[in-house]
Chains A and B, each alone.
Chain A
């Protein structure tokens, strides 16, 4: 019955790991060919793989794990998906209903444990309700603000036979509002017509809303000529090559993007949630602006930043109405002022905050990513990342022209996300180039998934920027803890080339800047999984950086003497 429901929901791939409490379902899977099952090596990997699958396709990711330890291993992935609004449906086995509560073998209170880390969850006690719950689970995961859901199925419920019901879109009382209020939309359009220094601040909600939202966003931005920045989660919704693109904003965002946020008079938030990595010091955040916020989740509005024009609705629906209203009112903008605003932004751009000096003896991490960008740009490329400095450098130095091409753990910041996520992406896009930009420490957290990559012949490229440090932690210790590097060393690292070979994959090591291009090409050209061990400068810091608790205009630009942009001696509080 479960497999039938999955088929009816259009599921083609399930990431999972078997165990006693899900054997009846595995038996069903064995006897059919419509739904592929990918055997991961750890349940956390299954959930991250499903996240990668979901984010790169726009479809929900599906996971199947056993009771007890299978379920508890899935908790990190569920929390990750909740924070980043990724639609995931997780099925867990449970001990038979008559044994629940008896501390049975591999029993855990799965719905209790996962209640705070799912959007919703269900324990199914009657086989007759199973199919209805499964359809509702897919509906809840994908409607409104997407998120992870979990269905816990006791073993006796799996064995029993019951009546099957087909999916029906109207069966659920859960129907979040998607259309924005026209009055509010008109108020925003009126503000846009007058704005002298407007900026679009876009986020993951544009990606969640689907390709139509990105399309409408492009139309709106290009028609108005307003500058646009995005959060880490929204990269690709507006193309990096677009002429109004400012780059990412936030703690490690671009100088021009953050200063535009600080000085703007109209801030238009589209599907972003004023995360603390964005706002910095709240009372100094964008002090001169009128703030509009488009979000499908009313709880995101006014949670952190007071909003003047709140619009509850789905990005695509609201943008469509905004465009209609704006056009019907004569396509007005304060073009003269906006042109001046662009000139000011161009001055900030000249600071060239991402400039770095490439090393001639040691590879700089920025340099490795700049070369990776140059050699893979224009290809059918998907990027996943782990968490740390490398993640921020990837966001800064790689460019994205389309949505759903960039998979990263933003809200929870889960080390160990990127590798399994790359597996999920590659499953969904077998012909594409899938690269996981990793730090050596993060990568080790889910390295067991090498087995999965090799077994399913997934040619995922593990691009490890190896600084032999927990780099991001080390950077904070340098800046905030008097250079006391407490336990931020990656000691006893494996030989990554041998490790790859031990799994039957290819390993490449690169330490000389002169070899970098050839090594990257070798990685790309190899038809199979590759671990690329790129030995980089060990104590490089990630800039720009807004130290936490500071305002956007108090950004650190870096060890500036090497850039010659600002006076020798250091970072500048602008």
Chain B
């Protein structure tokens, strides 16, 4: 027996996973990040999320300012308010990051995503698919006698709904761009 009062081998406590208990509410935020358009910049951002265990629901990136060499990354993420704050602060630390904006808190914003869906089928199903596409304002960008490729733009939920309807009608492939978002107004 040792002279210590704590029971030997009694505690399973580890110093390494002591997370504070701030709020537990999970929030969904859309974050816009303006970055230097240089090799590896996307790896830096993605590495930050995987390395620190943050979620990525959607991520899009493209150059938006050719002369200024700037790209815009739009990330949709979920986490507790404290985690969201950390994500923004951690993004801000990356040397190639110029600006970080939380579109969810900085004011009203619009979010859009583009998707292409291939639907394979014939007869009644084919007609039904076309009818639904019309209701959803999806465009036909390719067609054969047994298939369509639809293009649809909208909020992610609208695309989810459209895909759900297409599934029994022969949905065979889907490609989505991820979310692009801008603040409303000037």
Chain A residues in contact with chain B, CB under 8 A? 111-112, 115-116, 119-120, 123, 140, 145, 173-174, 251, 276-277, 279-283, 297-299, 301-306, 478-483, 547-550, 556, 559-561, 569-573
Beyond A111-B40, A549-B11, whether A279 also contacts B6 by CB under 8 A is no
- The answer to whether A303 and B86 have CB atoms under 8 Å apart is yes
Name the residue of chain B whose CB is nearest to the CB of A557: B4
- The answer to whether B13 and A283 have CB atoms under 8 Å apart is no
Question: Which chain B positions have C-beta within 8 A of A480?
Answer: 8-11
Segment with Cβ contacts to A, from B15-23, B138-146, B148-156: B15-23
- The answer to whether B13 and A550 have CB atoms under 8 Å apart is yes
Question: Which chain A positions have C-beta within 8 A of B6?
Answer: 479, 547, 556, 571, 573
Segment with Cβ contacts to A, from B91-99, B107-115, B124-132, B175-183: B91-99
Name the residue of chain A whose CB is nearest to the CB of B38: A122
Alpha-carbon separation in the docked complex, A305 to B21 (Å): 9
- B90 an interface residue at 8 Å Cβ cutoff? yes
Question: Which chain A positions have C-beta within 8 A of B105?
Answer: none
Task: Report how many A-B pairs have Cβ atoms within 8 Å.
Answer: 103
> Among B4, B18, B19, B39, which residue has its beta carbon within 8 angstroms of that of A479?
B4
Alpha-carbon separation in the docked complex, A301 to B92 (Å): 13
Question: Which chain A positions have C-beta within 8 A of B15?
Answer: 251, 276-277, 548-549
- B164 an interface residue at 8 Å Cβ cutoff? no
- The answer to whether A571 and B86 have CB atoms under 8 Å apart is no
Alpha-carbon separation in the docked complex, A573 to B7 (Å): 12
- The answer to whether A569 and B8 have CB atoms under 8 Å apart is no
- B51 an interface residue at 8 Å Cβ cutoff? yes
Name the residue of chain A whose CB is nearest to the CB of B85: A302
* Chain A interface, DSSP helix/strand/loop, else mixed: loop
How far, in Å, is B34 (CB) from chain A's closest CB? 11
- The answer to whether A283 and B89 have CB atoms under 8 Å apart is no
The 10 closest A-B pairs by CB, nearest first: A549-B13, A548-B15, A482-B9, A299-B89, A120-B95, A570-B3, A282-B20, A571-B4, A298-B89, A559-B3
How far, in Å, is A180 (CB) from chain B's closest CB? 16
How far, in Å, is A340 (CB) from chain B's closest CB? 31
Beyond A173-B98, A282-B20, whether A561 also contacts B3 by CB under 8 A is yes
- The answer to whether B21 and A115 have CB atoms under 8 Å apart is no
Question: Which chain B positions have C-beta within 8 A of A482?
Answer: 8-9
Q: List 21 A-B contacts (CB under 8 A).
A: A119-B95, A173-B36, A276-B15, A276-B16, A279-B18, A297-B89, A298-B89, A298-B92, A299-B90, A299-B93, A304-B20, A478-B2, A478-B8, A480-B8, A483-B2, A547-B6, A548-B13, A560-B3, A561-B3, A569-B5, A570-B2
Question: Which chain B positions have C-beta within 8 A of A174?
Answer: 95
